Amino acid sequence: MDNDDHAASILGSLIEGAADAIITTDLDGLINRFNAAAEMLFGCAAPELIGQHISALVPPPRRSEFALWLRLVTQEGRALRGDTEVLGKDGQIIQTYVSMSPLKDAQGTIAGALLFCVDISARLTLQNVLQKERDLLEAILETTNDAIIMVNSARWVVSANLQFEAFFHLARYQIINQPVEVLTEQIKMRPDLPDELVNILLTFVGDAYQSAGGDFEIGGPQLRVLVWYSSPVYAHDGTNVGRLFVFRDATREREVDRMKTEFVSLVSHELRTPLTSILGFTDFILDGDAGPVDGQVREYLDIVKINTGRLIGLINDILDVTRIEAGRVDLKRSLCFIDELIDSVVQSMFLVIDSRRQQLTLKIEPDLPPLWIDRERIAQAFTNLLSNASKYSPADSELIVEARLVREPEDFAAGAPPDIFVPAIQVAVHDRGMGIAPQDQKHLFTRFYRAEQAARRQIAGTGLGLAIAKSFIDLHNGHIWFQSRLDYGSSFYFSIPLVEAE
Ligand code: ADP
């Protein structure tokens, strides 16, 4: 075998063994080679096709394009490639990538065309699926009412939806695929957009761990409240791919909330006036000022009085809650001694506690320094705790009230929060009552929340007392906490720091 024959034989084996379909034609486009991979792709045996024109492998609409390719390759020596369609067995269309180049003889003269064909239908199907998913995600992003922006881990803005453009009047094309600083610079130049928006973006953009949220107002022709939320985004494999920022227009919600609070406050005021008059006249009759009151009538009037008192108490609680919600509680501070405050509350509750034959023990440290507080509010908080201790404890049980000065954070009773201020006065109310189940404990201090035990035993209450107590204590930079065991008892604590007069 001479060298040429040897080379031709190696080339032949290479072509036959190639994974891609390889076809060669002469200058007229007649097929003269059709390898095994081509047989697989087209589903025809080589002898069936050898000698046929290449256009037999191409669907009619593509034939003129193919004829042009063949001419450019064989006559002008060009090499062409691209995605196209070919005809498989039984006329089946196969998506393929075809590369067509001139085939030259030993003298370098073009003798025909060499075609590589790769089946790309699987790739196209996958591409289609991916594209559909992308379209769907994009459609969701574009349709949502929230403004959404995604910043990748390299701090580049990679996506911003239509609402983002609408909320902030920032053109998307100017910020997408740009560092986040391009966006923050644009925000800074806009007087209607708050600095807070820049701070939110710059503070959290590089943070791969924390979620955060809040709200802020934006100007423009009409003031709007935006609630925002941001969290890191992770890929399947757990790598951080960036951060999502979501903004929701809560203007209407806030307005409705404000109107609701105002309405409740108005109605409560209107209810309180006639109730106070009912209570006053009931007392008037009970005192005998309207004539003698016999036993049965007195009994009924006592019930009217108790229930009217309860209603007034409830309305006062609701008014407190609405004031707290609206941030309208102004503290009227003065220097007060906690022992005197405790004494006066105990006296006002004495009848209730005594009617249950409960024993109240006071353990007040002597010479406690005065507190700079709103006496009414702290008395209210303490009343709520003492009244709960009595209400949720059986008759004949013992209640203990303690007050002491605490100088070091570790000297507070167990369960105190870590960031508590010292020096402070700690007041405790202990009872041997029904206690609070662990699943209820985490919800205490939430408005209208009542533990299952209390509700089941039909002990009257609204679930407002603790929430109000907490708000009043918070306003004094104090803390409130508790320890409780079901069927054993509870201890509620609050601390008020000894702050200097403002
Ligand atoms: P209310 O007593 O009007 O229901 P509170 O806000 O004062 O409202 O209390 C909320 C709930 O916490 C009560 O319903 C009760 O289930 C529980 N709770 C509060 N104090 C005690 C206590 N000392 N012992 C047992 N449960 C209590």
* Residues 27-77: tens digit of each pLDDT: 999 999 999 999 999 998 989 989 999 999 999 999 999 999 999 999 999
Name the residue of 432, 436, 443 to mutate for ligand 1: max ligand atoms within 8 A of Cβ: 436
Average pLDDT value for the chain: 91
* Whether pTM exceeds 0.75: no
Q: Is 462 in the pocket of ligand 1 (CB under 6 A)?
A: yes
Give the strand pairing for 147-152 and 110-119: unpaired
Residue 403 near residue 426, CB atoms below 8 Å: yes
Atom 14 (ligand 1) nearest CA? 450
What is the pLDDT, as a whole number, of residue 24? 94
Average confidence (pLDDT) over 472-476: 93
What is the pLDDT, as a whole number, of residue 343? 95
Its CATH class, for the domain covering 144-249, is: alpha beta
Residue 341 CA, ligand 1 centroid: distance in Å: 22
Give the span between the Cα atoms of 446 and 425, in whole angstroms: 25
Omega before 47 within 30 of 0, i.e. cis: no
Q: Is 465 in the pocket of ligand 1 (CB under 6 A)?
A: yes
Name the residue of 349, 445, 456, 466 to mutate for ligand 1: max ligand atoms within 8 A of Cβ: 466
Ranges of CATH 3.30.450.20 domains, the chain = 3-124, 144-249
Q: Residues 192-246: pLDDT tens digits?
A: 899 999 999 999 988 888 899 999 888 777 888 999 999 999 999 989 999 999 9
Confidence of residue 470 (pLDDT cuts 50, 70, 90): very high
Confidence of residue 259 (pLDDT cuts 50, 70, 90): confident
What is the pLDDT, as a whole number, of residue 501? 38
Residue 432 near residue 371, CB atoms below 8 Å: no
Residue 392 CA, ligand 1 centroid: distance in Å: 7
User: Mean pLDDT lowest for which of 107-111, 287-291, 454-458?
Assistant: 454-458
Atom 10 (ligand 1) nearest CA? 463
Ranges of CATH 3.30.565.10 domains, the chain = 333-497
Asked if the 254-326 domain carries CATH number 1.10.287, the reply is yes
Q: Is 384 in the pocket of ligand 1 (CB under 6 A)?
A: yes
pLDDT for 148 beyond 50 = yes
Give the span between the Cα atoms of 199 and 193, in whole angstroms: 12
Q: Is 428 in the pocket of ligand 1 (CB under 6 A)?
A: no
What is the pLDDT, as a whole number, of residue 115? 94
User: What are 123's two structure tokens?
Assistant: 């790739």
108 φ/ψ angles, rounded to the nearest 5 degrees:
90, 10
Q: What is the DSSP string of 68-121?
A: HHHHHHHHH---EEEEEEEE-GGG-EEEEEEEEEEEE-TTS-EEEEEEEEEE-H
pLDDT for 2 beyond 70 = no
Asked if the 3-124 domain carries CATH number 1.10.630.10, the reply is no
SS3 label, residue 160: strand
Asked if the 333-497 domain carries CATH number 2.60.40.10, the reply is no
Name the residue of 391, 450, 472, 491 to mutate for ligand 1: max ligand atoms within 8 A of Cβ: 450
Residue 445 CA, ligand 1 centroid: distance in Å: 9
Ranges of CATH 1.10.287 domains, the chain = 254-326
User: What are 384's two structure tokens?
Assistant: 């709520």
State the DSSP code for 192: T
User: What are 467's two structure tokens?
Assistant: 């929430």
pLDDT for 396 beyond 50 = yes
Q: Is 388 in the pocket of ligand 1 (CB under 6 A)?
A: yes
Name the residue of 311, 353, 388, 398 to mutate for ligand 1: max ligand atoms within 8 A of Cβ: 388
Q: Is 450 in the pocket of ligand 1 (CB under 6 A)?
A: yes
Q: Is 490 in the pocket of ligand 1 (CB under 6 A)?
A: yes
Confidence of residue 502 (pLDDT cuts 50, 70, 90): very low
pLDDT for 1 beyond 60 = no
* Type of residue numbered 313: G
Q: Is 489 in the pocket of ligand 1 (CB under 6 A)?
A: no
What is the pLDDT, as a whole number, of residue 89? 83
Average confidence (pLDDT) over 179-198: 93
- Residue 434 CA, closest ligand 1 atom number: 25
